[in-house]
Amino acid sequence: MQITNQKMNAVVVVSPSGSIDATTAPELGAHIDDLVSHDDVKLVADFASVDYTSSAGLRVLLGAAKQTRAQGGDLRLSSVAPDVMKVLSLSGFTSILKIFDDTDSAVASFA
């Protein structure tokens, strides 16, 4: 799994790529933990290049949202593919996570 960061003002856009499952989720989790430990708590997870996620990926997103919100930030999602959206809505995550059509609007939502 490849993960890139891009800082846009106070917001960090995290862009993972590929499939997020039990084998790759720990890497994404560690990546986000690292950002939060450096006080980057306004995060956008840009899912444009994520073609699949299992509950292991949801667990990471849930943990990240809890952590960032506790510190006055948030984790927001953008550009979610239909297969990933399906898992999000089956798990009731669409009501607890803020999801945007594109990264720009997700970043702008923090302003």
Taking the C-alpha atoms of residue 17 and residue 6, their distance in angstroms, rounded to an integer, is 14
Least Å distance, CB 23 to another protein, is 6
Q: List strand residue ranges (DSSP E) for 1-111, in order.
A: 2-8, 11-20, 42-46, 49-53, 74-78, 98-100
Taking the C-alpha atoms of residue 12 and residue 81, their distance in angstroms, rounded to an integer, is 20
Which span sits near another protein by CB under 8 A: 1-9, 37-45, 91-99, 102-110? 91-99
Q: Is 109 in the site for another protein (CB under 8 A)?
A: no
| List of residues contacting another protein (CB under 8 A) | 19, 21-23, 52, 54-56, 58-59, 62-63, 65-66, 69, 83, 86-87, 90-92, 96-97
